[in-house]
Amino acid sequence: MAVIIDGKELAKKTRQNLKIECEELKKQGINPKLVVIMVGENQASKIYVRNKSKACEEVGIEYEEYLLDDKITQKDLIELIEKLNKDKTVNGILLQSPIPSNLDINEAFRTIDYKKDVDGFHPMNVGKLVLGQDTFVSCTPYGIMRMFEEYNIDLSGKNVVILGRSNIVGKPLSQCCLNKNATITVCHSNTKNIEEITKKADILISAIGKSHFVKSDMVRNGVVIIDVGINRGEDKKITGDVDFENVKNKASYITPVPGGVGPMTIAMLINNCLKAAKEQNR
């Protein structure tokens, strides 16, 4: 029976430490501030953004939100980002995805000053991660790396299999694990015989967004399972990518959904905001 990796508890502890750090910064006259930009109506985004604002409030970070009409032009979006780049009271800028498909999200991410890019999506920050340099690591991979640290799960020499190659999870996560000396296999929708690959994993991380995709016959005894997926069923119940009830009997460690990776993602966003505020005031 696996140890359940308690992301909710670890995130709470992380926020408590960050609150102390934020109070120290304020004593030095530094008031960390995050601005979130949302374009159009999206139910899931609204929930994520609400959780981010709650975490900022708890830690003491000033929070501002721009809710833009989905008819906004690319030019106006870019102008807003440029204005926030220049604003010295703003330390972190986060553009919540998705945005309407007529807008160029890559240009928008590129426009955010990389020193304020608390999501770690700017090509400069992605490049620094690849080069193994200090950077803003995107929040979900960063949260997962913190979980490994907290539970003393050593990655060196391990076979890490990652399901999913998105720019926000799979790709940066593969780099984070490589930087910790793991051997990485990244699977995607064109990968053949996935079960043969997952069965060889010491650590299996799933980020594909398909409920109960990972079954117990796809993993070996003692595997570490990190479930990034957030899938909303017709009954509104949230499930991960992993068949938790069956896989937990074979795994050595496993994250639940909800209460696993999700809360750590937000805690790492707060961490990145404080890092940005400190570096901009150095």
Where on the chain is the footprint of ligand NAP (CB under 6 A)?
Answer: 140, 163-166, 168-170, 187-191, 194, 207-210, 228-231, 261-262, 265
Closer residue to ligand NAP, CB minimum distance, 84 or 163: 163
Q: Name which of 187 and 218 has its Cβ closer to ligand NAP.
A: 187
Q: Provide the minimum distance between the beta carbon of 218 and ligand NAP in the complex, in angstroms, as a whole number.
A: 11
Q: State the DSSP string of 191-248.
A: -S-HHHHHTT-SEEEE-S--TT-B-GGGS-TT-EEEE---EE-TTS-EE-SB-HHHHT
First CA to last CA distance, the chain: 48
List the catalytic residue out of 33, 52, 116, 171: 52
Let me know if 119 is a catalytic residue: yes
- Cβ neighbours for 193, distance < 8 A, ≥ 6 positions apart: none
Q: Kindly tell me the sign of the dihedral angle through the C-alpha atoms of 243, 249, 254, 257.
A: positive
| Nearer residue to ligand NAP within complex by CB, 31 or 159 | 159
Q: At its nearest, how many Å lie between ligand NAP and the CB of residue 47?
A: 11
Query: How many CB atoms within 10 Å of residue 171?
Result: 19
Residue 227's DSSP bridge partners are 206
Q: Which of 6, 96, 171, 243 is catalytic?
A: 96
Residue 16 is among the residues annotated as catalytic for this protein: no
Residue 191 CB, nearest approach to ligand NAP (Å):
6
- Token output for 195: 């079960």
* Nearer to ligand NAP among residue 156 and residue 193 (C-beta): 193
Number of neighbours of residue 113 by Cβ within 10 angstroms: 18
Active site residue 175: no
Which of the residues 6, 119, 202, 241 is marked catalytic?
119
**Catalytic (active-site) positions:** 52, 96, 119
